Every structure is written in structure tokens, then in C-alpha cells.
Structure 1
């Protein structure tokens, strides 16, 4: 079946992909085996993982600039620019 060099290469690539997927599944299972707070899943228009004690006003205030910051970071990355230094780094 795998006498053809191209077929051997394709088979090797498929095996590598299966191994990568197995490793990702292992990571997922490890994370899911622990209960606790989950990180935000990125910017979305729907509700996030805020608890009942955190009202929508607080969420809107804390995450008001997330979309713009994410867009700017994506633009910098696309231009291969370094990340800007934080305010606490400038004090050194």
C-alpha cells in the first residue's frame, strides 16, 4: 500500500497529524479534569464568565477597550512590530 514515495509521505503526514491531535486531546482532558474558574474565551458579543457578583456595568467598564486592544495587537503582529513596553517597565 505504501510502496509509492508520495503515498509514504502522505501516510507519514497523517500519522503526525493524528499524534498532534492526540496530544491536544490529552491537554484538553488534563484541563477539564480540574474544576475552577475558566479564562475568558476571547472577545465575543455574548455573555462571558463573569460571576453573579459582577454586574454588567463592571464587565462593560473592565472590558471596554478589549476589542480595540486586540485589533491593535493584531495589526502590530501583522506588521511584525514589537509589543509596546508597559508603564511599569518604563520605571526601571
Structure 2
């Protein structure tokens, strides 16, 4: 008897899942039937239209000098030299030199 109740429960859960999937499929078909602007793709980690070429182009611009900067920093560290300040007009406290 317990097996029969458990089997009915499982069947009910499977039917609910099938109904949920049918509803989702119907929504997808309705959206796909209309042409026009699409919502943001990839916002929640899904498929996007962003291409690898776009990544490569952006990375080339943003990280163009990273290898040289890293090499120079490693060389300074190996010679135990202090890091160069980013702005020569300011010292490490953020105050202007006179």
C-alpha cells in the first residue's frame, strides 16, 4: 500500500513537471513568433551573441602592456627596488610635492 501511495506521488510530480515544461515551451514559441528587439541575452549566464573575436579585441586593448609591466615589476622586485609611483607629482600619502 505504501508503494502504491509513493508511486502515485511520483506520477503526480512527473505530470506537474511535464505541465511546467509545456508552459515554458509555449512561452518560448510565442516569443520566437514575434520579430523585434530582444531582451538582454546572457544576463543570467545564458547564451549570448558576444563572440570570441570581441573578447580578443577588447583584451588586446586593455591588456596590451601587461606583459611588459609584469616583467618590469618582477625585475624591480628581484633587485629589491621600490615600486615606481604612478603619478610623479604625488607622493604615497596623496599630498602634492612642492
On whether the aligned pair clears a TM of 0.5, the verdict is: no
Q: TM-score by structure 2 length?
A: 0.41
Q: Which has the higher contact order (CA 8 A, sep 6+)?
A: 1
Compare CA radii of gyration and give the structure with the larger one: 2
Q: TM-score by structure 1 length?
A: 0.44
